[in-house]
A and B are shown apart, each in its own frame.
Chain A
Amino acid sequence: MGRMLRLVLAIAGKDIRLELRTRTSLLSAAVFAALMLIVFNFARDPTAVATLDLAPSVLWVTVSFASVVAMNRAFTVERENAAFDGLLLAPVSRELLYLGKYLANLVFVLVVEAIALPLFVLFFNLDLSKALLPLVLTLLLATAGFVAVGTLFSAMVAKTRFAELMLPVLLLPFMVPPLIYAVKVTVPLLAGRPLSEVIPGLNFLAVYDVVFLTLAILLFPAVVDE
């Protein structure tokens, strides 16, 4: 177990270090998220649509597209100098390799969300004093699920000519179910309704995570083995 954890952390740590050196994915995703929130903020008419009706959708549309931007480079960085061959050649199971890449992507997307969430609160003038923890839990659960699928698809499209175009085309349909439930959970949370109303939605997100993370771990070896 210790060895497995060490390997996963080594692979994730490498990706995080690469990203900190280049700042391409994180920076572009964070700027993208900020721009979307700014555009939504100035485009909306508060007298026409109530903030609480619009805000959940804006949050999740922003998070989903920014996540795609953040995950796009996960495997394209592996192409330089055929570095991915070095990972595949090592005595490390493909499953652990996936988990390392997944963990790094999860960190990237959560960082983007950590940047986007305060901007979202600021622009929509929301009081999250009671809803913050459940909202963070919702973000974690939804993100864990679509990053699992995104990491798999990112590996799948990395060798195609239009990897950055293909990822959203493949991933967005799979993001729809968790996004629907994430929005359904966020609406009552922002409205200050009882937590019992959001439990079914959170349960769905947790089940989605388990199912798709398991599927992605099982499918990843077939995706990366030529």
Chain B
Amino acid sequence: MPLADPPLVEARGLARRYGAVRALAGVDLTLRRGEVLLVLGPNGAGKSTLLRSLAGLLRPTAGSVAINGRMLTRDDPDARRPIGLLSHQSLLYDELTLLENLILAGTLYDLPDPPARARAALTAQGLEHRADDRPRSLSRGMQQRAAIARALLHDPALLLLDEPFTGLDAVAGDRLRELLREHCTEGRGMVIVTHHAAEAWELATRVGVLLQGRWAFESPRPPDMAQFHRVYQELARG
């Protein structure tokens, strides 16, 4: 009998404290291929902590995270290979050109022919004419496209998005939504952390609300966003 594919993300009992502050308090999360989980919550709910824990950037004080069936541990850097991260910060070096930034990323991910992959990634984002420019010389929307090119360079199966729409105007936001819709095929999954449900509602297949480090709500995406919003407001008010 063939074994079922492991979930893309499987977090169990994820907890994280910052001194006396409890940011995550035993969060369980399973994300399968093709799913997009929208994580909502007020400031300080633990959203970014959850995302950074899933990315392996933050060591949980308790619990575990497995990506594609491989536990995220310090001793297994390859377990991070399927992860792409897109946040409101670009992860790009301001003193390197876009092309140099992406070639560096391609080298770190052992991609064949990093310069060619880097150029292709920039072309996919319509930035080929800015390849030799530095990130700081770009507009906010272009910087975000450069960050997307970096995040998608190694074709990650899991895309983690931390407030990806922050600072984008309506046109850039629509473009990002379209791109994420194209990216999320059956073999891939996404976790999107945001304050505003409307930004990524259409992309989501599931919605979760974090409050004080715990799931206060987690279900397939409700059909009516307005109705969900009222529930969310009640939850947030406690």
Contact = CB atoms under 8 A, between A and B. Distances in A.
B171 interface: no
B68 interface: no
Interface residues of A, number: 28
A87 interface: yes
A189 B83 CA distance: 54
Given A6-B107, A10-B104, A89 B80 contact: yes
A134 interface: no
Interface residues of B, number: 32
A3 B96 contact: no
B225 interface: no
B74 interface: yes
Interface in B51-77: 52, 55-59, 74, 77
A14 B91 CA distance: 14
Contact of A226 (B58, B85, B93): B58
Most chain B CB within a 10 A radius of its CB, from A11, A86, A88: A86
B110 interface: yes
A82 B88 CA distance: 10
Interface in A10-45: 10-11, 14, 17-18, 21-22
A11 B135 CA distance: 19
B90 A81 contact: yes
Nearest to A3: B110
A92 B56 CA distance: 12
B98 to A, nearest CB: 12
B77 A91 contact: yes
Interface of B: 52, 55-59, 74, 77-81, 83, 85, 87, 89-96, 100, 104-105, 107-110, 135, 150
